[in-house]
Structure 1
Amino acid sequence: MSVKPYIIIAEDEDALSTLLQYNLEKEGYEIGIAADGEDALMMIDERLPDLLVCDWMMPKVSGIEVTRRLRVQPETRNLPIVMLTARSEETDRIRGLDTGADDYVVKPFSMVELIARIRAVLRRIRPGLSEEKVEFGEITVDRLSHRVQRAGRDIHLGPTEYRLLDYLIQHPRRVFSREQLLDAVWGNDVYVEARTVDVHIGRLRKALNNDSDFDPIRTVRSAGYSLDSQA
């Protein structure tokens, strides 16, 4: 099973966040709910989502301030953000986009429109999330057949190694800590030792690499792992 795209919804209206969660889970996304901006920042710090849906007006920390803070951090600088707001004035819209939001949806909105906007943002920023076949360097992951190839050679992976590769190939060149990989691949409700990641990375490396191959999995000292193309 491939890793579901993980979306955090930061919305202080319970009824709306419940409705969003129901509809987005039906579309195959994994959803986390944040009741305010402060909560959203804490959740993002714990586990990096694939996209943030963020209300403009929220208690404690506003959506604009959340966006501003995320854009100055190297880890979250490229996080896709869709802003929800009751403000329809063009100046407000420009301000939201200038702060760093990738798209802007005015309330009231149709769920069909929001889902289409989310898909479009993910497709533009993280093409790997919306494609059945993902390629990076010599590596190809076919999500329909669960087939992995490197330079045309079939690679046989266990389920965990497959999910690890599937996650890394969605975020090429981004460095993930062991904890981030544990949350994304094993889930944050499962207790697994952080060193387990090293074991499965080792297995993934062994399966991907011949002795003569360039190793596409880069170990970043004191930070974690990333999938990199050949220099």
Structure 2
Amino acid sequence: MSARVLLVDDDESFRLILQKALVADSFVVSMLASGAEISTRLKSVPPDILVMSSDLPGVPGIEVCREVRLNPLLSRLPIILLVPGGGEELHLAALAAGADDCLVKPITPVELAIRVKNLLRRVNPALLDHMLKVGDLTLDREAHRVHRQRREVKLGPKEFKLLEFLMRTPGRVYSRTELKASIWGDDTTVDERAIDVHIARLRKVINLGKADEVIRTVRGAGYALGDF
């Protein structure tokens, strides 16, 4: 699995501990420190699930939750809120604001990883399904194998992740920024132009020497897994 998690908390050490557990379960994790940054991030690179503390600086997590539920484009985004211990009223307020799940701090990293998987399994099981199929292209997440027209295609780790991301939503156009975030997360040392290099490598292998391009370029917008 490589579902994308946006993790928001103002305690850096706490964030890093939770990130480590989620990455160990093969999630792609992006992190923010305040509620004020969430809205912009959700618009630019929507995650598959949002995990945030209720008491964030800037905009509280509960308020962010309400705003998300009012946005038609994000209303179905799975949300887990982390609330301080002993705050029963806050726990109820989090659920009333539209949170799908609520965890009381302190929490164990393992429990959070389990809750994230359980919630995704309930609302979007395809993200956890180990097999993806688009046209004559199949990808096995668990075995890390790709086949096209029953022929195995050998891919490097970055190309594999890139293809997996595109196969989740065939036909949708993704910008270089979105594709970069899907593979490298918040790593600012990677140039977005690196995506062009990986796309070129990926195309060369999965096109099987044919003229048809499985991955199409949309000028000024980005790349998409085309209909084939």
TM over 0.5: yes
The structural deviation recorded for 1:113 is 4.0
SS in 1 for 2:65: helix
CA–CA separation in structure 2 for the residues paired with 1:22 and 1:160: 20
| Identical columns (%) | 35
Amino acid at match of 2:128: S
Amino acid at match of 1:96: A
Q: Which residue of 1 aligns with 2:56?
A: 58
Amino acid at match of 2:190: Y
Q: Which residue of 2 aligns with 1:175?
A: 173
Amino acid at match of 2:129: E
Structure 2 unaligned runs (5+)? Answer: none
SS in 1 for 2:191: coil
Once the two structures are superposed, the pairs formed by residues 78-227 of structure 1 within 5 Å of their partners are 79-86=77-84, 88=88, 92-97=93-98, 101=99, 103-108=100-105, 110-111=107-108, 112-127=110-125, 129-186=127-184, 188-194=187-193, 196-209=194-207, 211=210, 215-227=213-225
Question: Residues 36 and 60 of structure 1 are in contact (CA less than 8 Å); yes or no, is this contact kept in structure 2?
Answer: yes
Amino acid at match of 2:119: V
1:112-164: per-residue Cα shift (whole Å, max 9, x none)?
A: 54322200223345545433333334321123433211242322334443231
Amino acid at match of 1:114: L
What's the C-alpha RMSD, in Å, of the aligned pairs?
3.5
The structural deviation recorded for 1:190 is 3.1
SS in 2 for 1:59: coil
Question: Residues 9 and 53 of structure 2 are in contact (CA less than 8 Å); yes or no, is this contact kept in structure 1?
Answer: yes
Amino acid at match of 1:143: R
Question: Residues 83 and 96 of structure 1 are in contact (CA less than 8 Å); yes or no, is this contact kept in structure 2?
Answer: no
Q: Please, what TM-score do these two structures have when normalized by structure 2?
A: 0.73
Change (3 A) 1:166 1:221: same
